[in-house]
Structure 1
Amino acid sequence: MPKYHDQLDVVLRALADPTRRAVVERLAKSPAVVSELAAPFSMALPSLMQHLRVLEDAGVVTSQKHGRVRTVSLRPGALDVLHLWLGEQRTPAEHQADRLGLHLTRTTPKGT
C-alpha cells in the first residue's frame, strides 16, 4: 500500500461533509476571512469554525490571524493525494475500456 494512503484517508474524511467541500470550493478561488466564509451557511459561527478546524487538521487549509480577523487559505498541494489516488483508479478502468473497444472491433461484422 502506498505511503500516502494514511493522508488520503484524512483528506477524504475531511471532505466527506458538504459544508467542508463548499468551503474548499470557495477557497479555491481565493483566500477569505471567516465571516465571508460563514455568510452562505445557515449555521452559527462556532459550528463553521469547527468545520474549518477539521480541514486545517487534515492539512487542507491554513489560517492566519491578524488582530481580530482570521483569513483562511487552501493549502497548495493539499489535494494532490486525491489526484494520485484517482489516477491509480482511472488506469485500470481505462485498460478495461481499451480491451472492450478492441474486442468490439474484432467481433463487429464489417458494414454495420
Structure 2
Amino acid sequence: DRLEQARQAAAVAHNASVQAYDKIAELEQQLEASEQRVRVMEERGDALEAQLTQPVVAGSATAAEARAREAEGAVAAAVQRATAAEAWAEGAEQRAREAEGAVIGGREEGGNSRGKGG
C-alpha cells in the first residue's frame, strides 16, 4: 500500500515536472518574442532620435518627441514583461527540481520499505 502511494506520488511529481518544463519552454518563447519587440522598439527609437536631430518644424518635433516617449514606454513595458517571465521560469525550474527530488525521494523511500520486509 505504501509502495503504491509512493508510485502515485512519483507519478504526480513527474507530471508536475513535465508541466513545469512545458511552461518554461512556453515562457522562453514569450521571452524571445518580447526581446524581439524590444529590439524593434529600440530601432524605432533610434530612427525617431535621428529624426529629432534633423532641423524640423516645431510641431513635427513635438509629435516626434511624443512618439519617442511612447516607444520608450513600450520598450520599458516589454522589458518588464520579459523580466517577469524570467522570474516565473526560474520559479518553475525550482519547482521542477523539487518535484524531481520528491520522485527520487519517493523511490528511495519505497526501496527502503521493501528492504525492511514491509
TM norm structure 1: 0.30
- From the two aligned structures, give the one with the greater helix fraction: 2
TM norm structure 2: 0.29
- From the two aligned structures, give the one with the greater strand fraction: 1
